[in-house]
Structure 1
């Protein structure tokens, strides 16, 4: 995967699954991202509360969709909802380096050692380590890191990788659809398989 700069932009974002699904469907119908952006501007296809929010959602979803090869569209359309959510999660990890590293270094490691609990302390330790490794992350405030941690928990829960419990959450190891696993391998995304299934 292409290494992007660390970003805290996720605090303004959401999992936006239904929006992602709509965009993938329209792309599969032959529309371009430019077409869909124009359609969103005209019709507010995500029913966002403001034009500004509609544009922000569209721009974020466009970046996520563009991170995946177009051959994912038919696979996405024929998959069940749990697999579609994993594809949406892969798109987020493709476009958010820090979130990918969180899933790979924290969630994956927990699955490997057989621990099923994701605690707030795990998130705090992860960010403290990143602050030591990155001058950019080191400048982020405690408030930003807390918001980011909450966003990460929400993303994982929305994707089906954790339960909804307050505080510590149970990690729910997903069963990867063989066709999705094959697609990921074919596109050089083995690290995504490792991150999602907890393998070395």
Structure 2
């Protein structure tokens, strides 16, 4: 079982953590080959295995990817490797939701609701409005600057675009409803991640 520790986490203003599908897949392959996260760190530092533009960017990718993979178990890694690209990208979204409470709340409160209602458009105002609604109930979030809120908005659009959950460009993005296969549904429910399954499937709790 995978524990959803994210549900007891604080809201985070993360603006640089992308989906990093290719890098996540690369890390999972290395872990499955017997490498440790420490060895992956050394490979990143010495060989730039993520082809990052700078050492600081490579370290950011590695740290975030390690955080996400530490949130799951060996069954997740095994299941990931057995799936096609579309499902692997869905699993990367799962990793983000398991480690970023703000993103999890957005997916649960906004994205899932649109899937349930059959709404096919995601507006910039949906994302900004979501952050503003959080600010009304959590004084820590009121400290986020307008520039930070915009960066969060753009970051979430980038994550959803890379996962192929929304269209590529525009202030109004077309929502691409995820196709959750039977194996994915069974895996998420067996691992105790039914709330996340319901987000991806667009089902009421």
Q: Which segment drifts farther, 82-91 or 33-42?
A: 33-42
After TM superposition, the structure 1 = structure 2 runs for residues 33-72 of structure 1, keeping only pairs within 5 Å, are 33-72=37-76
Partner residue, 2:114: 110
Q: How many residues align?
A: 199
CA RMSD of aligned residues (A): 1.1
1:15 and 1:30 map into 2 onto residues whose CA distance is: 24
2:103 and 2:186 map into 1 onto residues whose CA distance is: 23
Partner residue, 1:133: 137
Query: Which structure 2 residue ranges, 5 or more long, are not aligned?
Result: none
After TM superposition, the structure 1 = structure 2 runs for residues 3-42 of structure 1, keeping only pairs within 5 Å, are 3-9=8-14, 11-42=15-46
Partner residue, 1:176: 180
Q: Tell me by how many angstroms 1:74 deviates.
A: 2.1
Provide, for residues 131-186 of structure 1, a one-character-per-residue CA deviation record: whole Å limited to 9, x for no partner: 01111111101110011001111111111111113111111111112112111111
If asked which structure has higher relative contact order (CA below 8 Å, sep 6+), I would say 2
2:58 and 2:169 map into 1 onto residues whose CA distance is: 30
Residue 169 of structure 1 aligns to a residue whose secondary structure is strand
2:9 and 2:26 map into 1 onto residues whose CA distance is: 26
Provide, for residues 63-82 of structure 1, a one-character-per-residue CA deviation record: whole Å limited to 9, x for no partner: 11111111122221121100
Partner residue, 2:156: 152
Query: Which structure 1 residue ranges, 5 or more long, are not aligned?
Result: none
Partner residue, 1:76: 80
Residue 140 of structure 2 aligns to a residue whose secondary structure is helix
Q: Which segment drifts farther, 31-40 or 110-119?
A: 31-40
Q: Tell me by how many angstroms 1:125 deviates.
A: 1.4
